[in-house]
Amino acid sequence: MSPDTHIPIQSGTPEYRHVKRHHTARYYAHRVKESLSTRVSKLICTIFLTLLFLVGLIAFILWLSLRPHRPRFHVQEFSIPELAQEIIGLENVQIIYSATARNANQNIGIYYDSTQLTVYYEEQSIGGAHLLFPFYQEPKNTTVIAGQLGGTNLTVTSQRWHQFMADLGRGEVAFRLEITSTIRFRIWTWDSKRHKVHANCPVGVGPDGLILPNYKDKRCPVYFS
C-alpha cells in the first residue's frame, strides 16, 4: 500500500459496545411476583401496626375512664357530750360519730364486705365496733356511717378521763377515728379481688364536747393494705 493511500475511518463507531441482555419470561414473572410479595408484606405490616395502635388507644381510654378511685371518707360529727359536764359516771360516757363514705368513680361500684370502726387516743384504742351491714355502693354515691360507742364498746378509765380534762384545759382533746373495710370494685359484671382500705380521720373535741370546726367535714387520708 502506497503512502498516499488513505484508509477511511468509520465515524460514529462507539469505543465500547454495550451488550444487550435478553431476559426470559420466567425472569420477569419472578420480578413481578417478588414486587407483589413486597407490597403485600408492607400492607400487612401497616394494617397490623394500625390495629395495634387502635387497640392501645382504646385500652388507654378505658384505663383513664375505668381506673378505680379510692373511697373518700369525711367526718361529719364526733362528740363526747359528757366532756361538758363536771361530774359524771364513767359507765355513761358515749362517743357519737357520723362519717361519710363517697364513691367518686364514674362507672365503678364498690362492695363493702365488712367494716370496723375504732377510736384511738394517744395511739391507743379506747373503743370500737364492727359495723355489720355489708352493702353495695353505686357510682357517684355517698353512704353515711353513723352510730355511737358506749358500754362494753368503749373503755374510759378514771386515769384516762383525767387526761381528757387536762387536754381540755389546753383547748382540745385529740382523737383518731379509723374506719377499716374490706371492699371489692365492680366494673359492669366483673368483681375485683378484695382490698383492705383504711381511713384515718384525726378529730379534735372542744370544751363543749363537740367536734371542733376545723375537723368537721375534713377529708380523711386513705390507704390500702
- Residues 50, 137 within the same domain: no
Q: pLDDT tens-digit profile of 6-40?
A: 545 455 555 545 545 555 666 555 565 567 677 77
* 42 and 98 belong to one structural domain: no
Sign, CA dihedral 142-148-149-151, equals negative
Residues 63 and 142 in one domain: no
Whether 1 is covered by a domain: the verdict is no
Tens of pLDDT along 148-173? 999 999 999 999 999 999 999 999 99
Kindly report the CA angle at 76 between 70 and 77, in degrees rounded to 5?
Answer: 135
Same-domain check for residues 84 and 63: no
Phi, psi of 54, deg, nearest 5: -65, -40
User: How many CA atoms does the CB half-sphere of 42 hold within 13 Å?
Assistant: 6
What is the mean pLDDT of the segment spanning 177-204? Answer: 92
Nearest to 95 by CA among 209, 217, 223, 181: 209
Question: 97 and 193: one domain?
Answer: yes
Spatial distance between the Cα atoms of 97 and 82, rounded to a whole number of angstroms: 14
Contact between 71 and 222 under an 8 Å Cβ cutoff? The reply is yes
Domain of residue 78, CATH code: 2.60.40
Tell me whether residue 5 is in a domain.
no
- CB burial string 110-140: b at 16+ within 10 A, e below: bbbeebebebbbeeeebbbbebeeeeebeee
Give residue 42's domain range: 13-67
Mean pLDDT for all residues in the chain:
84
Residue 2 lies in a domain: no
Q: pLDDT tens digits for 47-85? A: 888 888 888 877 766 665 567 889 999 999 999 999 988
Q: Are residues 34 and 103 in the same domain?
A: no
Q: Among 24, 41, 67, where does a domain finish?
A: 67
Q: Does 205 fall in a domain?
A: yes
pTM: 0.71
Q: Does 21 share its domain with 60?
A: yes
Confidence at residue 55, expressed as pLDDT on a 0 to 100 scale: 87
Q: Are residues 142 and 213 in the same domain?
A: yes
**CB burial readout 93-104, b (16+ within 10 A) else e:** bbbbbbbbbbbe
Residue 139 lies in a domain: yes
What are φ and ψ of residue 25, in 5° steps? Answer: -65, -30
- In angstroms, the Cα distances linking 1 to 4, 5, 6, 9, 119 are 8, 7, 9, 17, 133
Examine the fold and report which residue of 67, 86, 103 is the final residue of a domain before the chain moves on: 67
Q: Which residue is listed with cell 381511713?
A: 199
Beta partners for residue 73, in sequence order: 101
Query: How far apart, in whole angstroms, are the C-alpha atoms of residue 63 and residue 144?
Result: 29
Residue 8 lies in a domain: no
Residues 220 and 78: beta-carbon distance below 8 Å: no
Residues 105 and 189 in one domain: yes
Please indicate, yes or no, if residue 25 is contained in any of the structural domains.
yes
Do residue 82 and residue 63 come from a single domain?
Answer: no
Of 28, 52, 67, the domain-final residue: 67
3-state secondary structure of 159: helix
pLDDT (tens digit, 9 = 90+) per residue, 79-138? Answer: 999 998 866 778 889 999 999 999 999 889 999 998 999 999 999 999 999 987 789 999
166 and 181 both lie in a single domain = yes
Same structural domain for residues 55 and 93? no
Number of domains in the chain: 2
